[in-house]
């Protein structure tokens, strides 16, 4: 069975490797199912939103949220935050196409993301990696059990 090395030169035992795989499975599964999939659904819900031309107010990647845009809606300037799962890297002052809800213009997404954007990609990737870690955990548990049965008694 393969073990994981740590920085001190030792290794994690088979049980620690099993727990490590289980924890990663849960974390990646939660990221996929509880964060990124709902974010992709939210982005898709704005596909029929009203279009507008917005100006970016922040720099950086928007995948984790926190990117601000400003645009005109209903005769007033609205400042809104792009949701988690927005794709692309932007700079302050860049012009972007957005879609917003008519009843609440603060609910906005970049027009290129209303198909699910990077959120759907990350949901699928983290789900697949979670599945791989789950298979690794099952494999580890199987070999731990086999090894325990083969030990000589005495």
* 12 found inside a domain: no
Q: Any residues with CB less than 8 A from the CB of 52 and at least 6 apart, and which?
A: 71, 72, 73, 97, 98, 99, 100
* 38 found inside a domain: yes
Express each pLDDT in 12-62 by its tens digit.
677 788 888 899 999 999 999 999 999 999 999 999 999 999 999 988 788
pTM, whole model, 2 decimals?
A: 0.74
pLDDT for 49:
95
* 121 found inside a domain: yes
Tell me the C-alpha distance between 84 and 105, whole Å: 17
Structure tokens at 81: 């935050």
* 133 found inside a domain: yes
**Collapsing DSSP states into helix, strand and coil, what is residue 81?**
strand
pLDDT above 80 (res 9): no
Express each pLDDT in 89-139 by its tens digit.
888 999 999 999 999 999 999 999 998 878 888 899 999 999 999 998 888
Tell me the C-alpha distance between 117 and 130, whole Å: 20
* 137 found inside a domain: yes
* 3 found inside a domain: no
């Amino acid at each position: 069975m393969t073990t994981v090395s740590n920085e001190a030169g030792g290794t994690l035992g088979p049980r620690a490797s099993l727990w490590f795989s289980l924890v990663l499975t849960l974390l990646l599964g939660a990221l996929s199912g509880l964060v990124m999939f709902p974010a992709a659904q939210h982005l898709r819900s704005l596909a029929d939103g009203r279009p507008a031309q917005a100006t970016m107010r922040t720099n950086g990647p928007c995948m984790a949220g926190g990117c601000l845009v400003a645009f005109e809606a209903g005769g007033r300037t609205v400042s809104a935050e792009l949701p988690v799962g927005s794709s692309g890297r932007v700079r302050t002052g860049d012009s972007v196409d957005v879609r917003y809800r008519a009843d609440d213009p603060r609910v906005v997404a970049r027009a290129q993301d209303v198909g699910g954007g990077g959120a759907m990609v990350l949901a699928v990737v983290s789900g697949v990696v979670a599945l791989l870690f789950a298979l690794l955990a099952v494999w580890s548990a199987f070999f731990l059990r086999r090894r325990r049965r083969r030990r000589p008694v005495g």
